[in-house]
Amino acid sequence: MCGILAVLGVAENSQAKRSRIIELSRRLQHRGPDWSGLHHHQDCYLAHQRLAIVDPTSGDQPLYNEDKTVVVTVNGEIYNHKELRKKLQSHQFRTGSDCEVIAHLYEEFGEDFIDMLDGMFSFVLLDTRDNSFIAARDAIGITPLYIGWGLDGSIWFASEMKALSDDCERFMSFLPGHIYSSKSGGLRRWYNPPWYSEHIPFAPYEPLVLHKAFEKAVVKRLMTDVPFGVLLSGGLDSSLVASVASRYLVDSETACQWGSQLHTFCIGLKGSPDLRAAREVADYLRTRHHEFHFTVQEGIDALAEVIYHIETYDVTTIRASTPMFLMSRKIKSLGVKMVLSGEGSDEIFGGYLYFHKAPNKEELHKETCAKIKALHLYDCLRANKATSAWGVEARVPFLDKEFINVAMGIDPEWKMVRPDLGRIEKWILRNAFDDEQHPYLPKHILYRQKEQFSDGVGYSWIDGLKDHANQQVTDAMLANASFVYPENTPTTKEGYHYRTIFERFFPKNAARSTVPVGPSVACSTAKAVEWDATWSKNLDPSGRAALGVHVAAYEEKTKAVADAPAINGSPGK
């Protein structure tokens, strides 16, 4: 994962301005510690901090077309770059970088090429022939991007807020699936899949189609010229990613370079549920497993650094980001630069435990659509920035465009939790990989119930954070929170504490406005209460609001899943 900074239309063109842009670009150096570059043309600057994953020797950025009239700075990976190169045979490529295709696609197709890209990306492209430019962000917002405006009329783009927050009067998160064009002067959405309108789909559930789409999504993300691994919590999503990746490695070109044994990584407090579950999965898959431990105090000590890097004060995001941040540092120390992770599955399949209360398929589908659209503010932000803080790139197969289209095109009745039919949350995903002859995972792992990540690393983690916040924030401070923080007023001492740290790094109104109002993506408390009023008794913003779903009888029901009714085209309406 790289860091980009583009400043376009500056009023002052001087050595001092160039030095300032270099200084701001260095704030992103953690994202790209391998090399840095800067292109200056008239009143435009494109800066880049590179993390070399594909073509480490010649893929330095910014990248260019043949005569260097088109310049592009990119943060991301284009998985279909080899196929795209075949459509650009009249063009001469300078590097083996997957991102160079962007400059040539623009030459060939103009601004309408973006939907041809299969990958995760944020980029800024400058056409020096008329000094026009475009900026774009991937479909779901896996890679971060911010847009800002200076008092001198300049427009800024940066991978992280810290590179533009001091010099822009106003800035905001760049919307996923959108393009900004200087010619039209505004944002427009380029990503328009069928599910985006939230119309209820009616395609039947076909296990093999879903299975193949996910396998393809995992395999394409093994495109790398550096050591890699999988973040393995032992839950369904990360375990499936690890299982598919380990199978592919056996006979792949990647195995010739890095070996056929997959590396897996997990972190937790000693004795945590994740550590036990991940070890069991790793033993089954025979991966080279790396288990890291941290203490509650070590996590608390890292909070300020975590908030600086992830740039949010959302409570559940910080809870989950801290262990991931600590783990990424350990992973980097092993020489690993890229990892696969399981984000996105719960949003697509309605996997959070409050989905048990969804009253009908229409409500469930609309909620999954809303969750996917908000991922860039929560789980994508966490996964990207917590790993990029240490120069590690996280790839997320569940958020593959093609896979999302397949999964979101299925009649949502199949995603409903139906205990009477032996269907638990994410049943269609579990069922698609329930292979009796060549099992991907043992049954009890394949049908293991979800554990919230911030709880999975150790049940005392959240309690420890709350205790720490109680020591830092008095009752009087919380009582006056609405006067101190009238926007997005914190309602708990934990939230107040995080907000105080955030404001220290990012004091502008624009900065606090980049953090969304309301409950996080992990558990929509408002939606849960709407579906079942009894949930109003527990308003913790994490999935703990769903603890009532964890009943002893639940595990007994899952044991009978293998004997559930066969799939005969009816979702059991």
Residue 403 corresponds to which tokens in the numbers above?
């896979």
Q: How many helices and strands (H and E) does the chain possess?
A: 24, 17
Of the candidates 120, 122, 74, the residue with the CA atom closest to the CA atom of residue 99? 74
**Which of the residues 2, 99, 369, 523 is marked catalytic?**
2
Using CA atoms, how far residue 430 sits from 22, 447, 549, 571, in Å, is 49, 7, 19, 15
Give bridge partners of residue 393 from the DSSP assignment: 338
- The rounded distance, in Å, linking the Cα atoms of 335 and 252 is 21
Residue 517 corresponds to which tokens in the numbers above?
């109002």
How long, in residues, is the chain?
573
Q: Confirm whether 2 is a catalytic residue.
A: yes
User: For residues 432 and 207, is the Cβ–Cβ distance under 8 A?
Assistant: yes
Of the candidates 533, 364, 555, the residue with the CA atom closest to the CA atom of residue 451? 555
Q: Is the sign of the CA dihedral 119, 123, 128, 133 positive or negative?
A: positive
- The rounded distance, in Å, linking the Cα atoms of 346 and 351 is 4
Residue 279 corresponds to which tokens in the numbers above?
């070890």
User: For residues 146 and 158, is the Cβ–Cβ distance under 8 A?
Assistant: yes
- The rounded distance, in Å, linking the Cα atoms of 236 and 449 is 8
Q: Is the sign of the CA dihedral 85, 86, 90, 93 positive or negative?
A: positive
- The rounded distance, in Å, linking the Cα atoms of 412 and 518 is 26
- The rounded distance, in Å, linking the Cα atoms of 133 and 155 is 11
Residue 195 corresponds to which tokens in the numbers above?
């599910």
Of the candidates 452, 447, 453, 454, the residue with the CA atom closest to the CA atom of residue 236? 447
- The rounded distance, in Å, linking the Cα atoms of 311 and 257 is 36
DSSP per residue, 319-359: HHHHHHHHHHHHHHHTT--EEE--TTHHHHHT-SGGGGG--
Q: Is the sign of the CA dihedral 354, 210, 401, 311 positive or negative?
A: positive
- The rounded distance, in Å, linking the Cα atoms of 318 and 299 is 10
Residue 569 corresponds to which tokens in the numbers above?
């085209």
Active site members: 2
